[in-house]
Amino acid sequence: MASEKLASKLQRRLHWEEVDGGLQPAPRAAPVPEPQPQPSAWAPTARADAELSAQLNRRLDINEGAARPRRCKVFHPYSEFPEFSRRLIKDLESMFKLYDAGRDGFIDLMELKLMMEKLGAPQTHLGLKSMIKEVDEDFDGKLSFREFLLIFHKAAAGELQEDSGLMALAKLSEIDVALEGVKGAKDFFEAKVQALNSASKFEAELKAEQDERKQAEEKRRLRQAAFRELKAAFST
């Protein structure tokens, strides 16, 4: 123990003698800062390439049937398609639901195939995929009701090729042909737009629907009353 204390004292004395003699202990070297990465001038281009790559990958997933469906925002057909009347949108909605065999709110490729066959204009597999692709806004590989309405919007605006599958669908999907007296989808929509130029068209259509419901309810009550009267006659 005494020898350790003596050795410690000798080391301290040697240290101070070196300091007094001008020998300073070497200072510690300051750490060299690591170089910071500089922003690349190609960052916007790289980001755009990444977005394009993501879109292409999703398109490949859709083609292979491996894409996950995207959540859609709430769709308001009356506000997004103001050129269509309430009655027309309801008729098209009924038609959409008729061919939505899966009752999932979409018309997929097989359901579209059945629709075109029922309308008398069957399409090839590639033709059906091309039809969906032309209005497939969310790249999910099937038709939502909004995209279904978009077909008729494009037909009325003259944005579809005359020999395309979508134009065939629009022309063969005439709603209430006998009532409207039209022969083609474009004339049908033009007639609708011209008939709905009044500022109060929405209120008038709503009132007409209410009147129709009242008339239907009145007829139902009359039928029930007639049945009760007939039943009473047989009971006596």
pTM assigned to the model: 0.49
Along the 236 residues of the chain, how does pLDDT read in single tens digits? 556 766 677 677 666 555 555 444 545 555 556 656 555 555 556 666 777 777 777 677 666 665 555 545 678 898 989 988 899 999 999 999 999 999 999 999 999 999 999 999 999 999 999 999 999 999 999 999 999 999 999 998 899 999 999 999 998 886 543 333 334 444 555 555 555 454 456 667 777 888 888 888 888 888 777 777 666 666 66
Q: Which residues contact 174 (CB under 8 A, 6 or more apart)?
A: 180, 182, 183, 184, 185, 188
User: What's the confidence (pLDDT) of residue 46?
Assistant: 64
User: What's the confidence (pLDDT) of residue 179?
Assistant: 39
User: What's the confidence (pLDDT) of residue 11?
Assistant: 72
User: What's the confidence (pLDDT) of residue 35?
Assistant: 59
User: What's the confidence (pLDDT) of residue 211?
Assistant: 84
What is the Cα–Cα distance from 194 to 155, expressed in whole angstroms? 16
User: What's the confidence (pLDDT) of residue 173?
Assistant: 81
Distances (CA, A) of 89 to 21, 78, 99, 145, 203: 101, 8, 16, 10, 15
What is the Cα–Cα distance from 107 to 96, expressed in whole angstroms? 8
